Structure 1
Amino acid sequence: MSSLWHQKLTTVGDIVVVYIDLSNNEIWENQAFHLLDKSEQTRVHRFRDQSARREFTLCRAALRYHLCKMNDCKNKELRIISHNNEKPVAYINGSKIRYEFNLSHTTGHGLLALAPTRRLGIDVEHRNLQVDIDGPISETFAESEKQALSQLETQDKVDVFLRIWTAKEALIKATGEGFRADTTSFSVPDEFFRGSCNKFSPFRLPHYHEFEWTILNLSSTSYVATLVYEVA
């Protein structure tokens, strides 16, 4: 077993992707908790659900560790602040840093992506999906995606659903739109969600035409994950 609950998964140019093991481990949780600042520790105590408490603690501590490592600063000098559900911003000794970062977690697994300047987003979902997917498909998918899914058998349908879902989530995280985005207004490239390619670039969103994006599959046997990043 690794002495750390987080380790580098891969690098893509100047982007670093970190895997976070969210298994139930009291030693890891205790180590992680002591990396948090006082406001973050207070937030941990407010969680009633043990899994949510563990996920926040391990993920936030991993983020702090890697931001400090990449910016050559001490943990006590770092503050991570969120404003009105916007993307978190990191400060070192009161000065905002330019590092882009994004984090996602699902049952047992977390992924963190960091880059010096490029916009990026990441999303991960467990393969053992225990929810009805018809509702999300109807409400958040484009017509071409709905049509493609309607032609698939159950397991293939779930697999393709997860590839589309994680790509859409990563895209709206990268743009900073989040839940404000109309995800029915754009389609994930057919070649990507059908699995004929694991990397698609360049991709443009119709309402964000000035930016080009790369969509990269980072899935494993346990989870489906997609990284989206701005083309340099």
Structure 2
Amino acid sequence: MPLNGALSPADFEAGLALGWLTDDEAAKVSRYRSVSARNNGLQVRLGLRAVLSRHSELKPNEWRFNYGAKGKPALTPDLLAKTGLHFNLSHSGEWLMIGIVMGGHALKADHYADADLCFGVDIERERSSTDIVPILNHYFTQAETDTLLQLPSSLQRQRFFDLWAVKESYIKARGLGLALSLKSFSVDFGLITQGNVNVQLADKSHQTIELQQDVKLHFTEDEDIATTMAWQTVLGRLDQQYRFAITFGLTNQVNEQHSLRIEPIDNSLNIYQLSLADLLV
């Protein structure tokens, strides 16, 4: 979803007047000092509720959320049991990304528990002003840094933000924030294979965006997470400036219990590009 930081005061008030947000959410949005942050905060919350309602019979004002120790949002246990939906969201610059996993019902189960399923998304805007070298040395593994610096200088910044998006999607899937060291795992793009995924636009037309497949995560400090869960990650690009990453993990216990054959993410990935106005219709 595109974000409009220049939302007019009338549109902002109209969004609040929908009555979708809880009193706490509305108060938090209104406390932002920056007008653009206030506008985007409202659109993020309205957009999330509208998208969730596209996948459920619940109305946008009926959604309620819990927050993990590091702030990761999730549906309250009763709504998770009722809908089977898991979600994650990310925003950067002019874009909001909302990811939805419809889990459990296909297996005739109530839902995947939060402990069984990890899901994170991240969208990143490439910024020319970011000094990437100090960040490389502080947050990336030696292998990641060495591989990046072997690239032509013109590609190093692109790879930096690709790495950052994938790493963010993983730590968001875990719900631990930066309490989880970015050096505790490494990203291996290997021999990247390209694939295309279909994007349905609001006007019912279609376009394709490129996905980079075979992105691998290697766990350098937490072997348990590598042996107890099956992980998949994909990286995509909206354009030259914006890229996004999706990371999905499911416990091996659930895989074995339901005899699942885990399909590659890109085989079951549906992407829709919508504006908030589209969702309000």
| The two structures share one fold, judged by TM-score above 0.5 | yes
Residue 90 of structure 2 is aligned to residue 76 of structure 1: no
- 1:215 alignment counterpart: 233
Q: Which amino acid aligns with 1:229?
A: F
> Deviation at 1:72?
1.0
Superposed, which structure 2 residues align to 1:46-61 within 5 Å?
Answer: 46-61=31-46
The structure-2 alpha-carbon separation of the partners of 1:67 and 1:178, relative to structure 1 and needing over 3 Å to count, comes to: same
Query: What SS does the aligned partner of 1:95 have?
Result: helix
Q: RMSD between aligned alpha carbons?
A: 2.4
Residue 100 of structure 2 is aligned to residue 114 of structure 1: yes
Residue 127 of structure 2 is aligned to residue 145 of structure 1: no
- 2:274 alignment counterpart: none
Instruction: Give the % identical residues.
Output: 23
Contact residue 202 and residue 212 of structure 1 kept, 8 A: no
Residue of structure 2 aligned with 1:95, choices 74, 78, 90: 78
TM-score by length of 2: 0.67
> Deviation at 1:203?
4.6
Deviations 1:60-113 (A, max 9, x none): 11111122232211223222232543311223xx82414211111111111110
- 1:133 alignment counterpart: 132
Query: What SS does the aligned partner of 1:48 have?
Result: coil
The structure-2 alpha-carbon separation of the partners of 1:129 and 1:32, relative to structure 1 and needing over 3 Å to count, comes to: farther
Unaligned runs of 5+ in 2: 104-116, 195-211, 251-261, 263-281
TM-score by length of 1: 0.80
Contact residue 123 and residue 167 of structure 1 kept, 8 A: yes
Deviations 1:168-195 (A, max 9, x none): 1101111222211111122101327xx5
Give the Cα–Cα distance (whole angstroms) in 2 for the partners of residues 217 and 106 of structure 1: 16
Contact residue 89 and residue 96 of structure 1 kept, 8 A: no
Single out whichever of 105-114 and 129-138 deviates more from structure 2. Answer: 129-138
Aligned length: 209
- 1:165 alignment counterpart: 164
Query: What SS does the aligned partner of 2:138 have?
Result: helix
> Deviation at 1:201?
6.4
Give the Cα–Cα distance (whole angstroms) in 1 for the partners of residues 229 and 218 of structure 2: 6
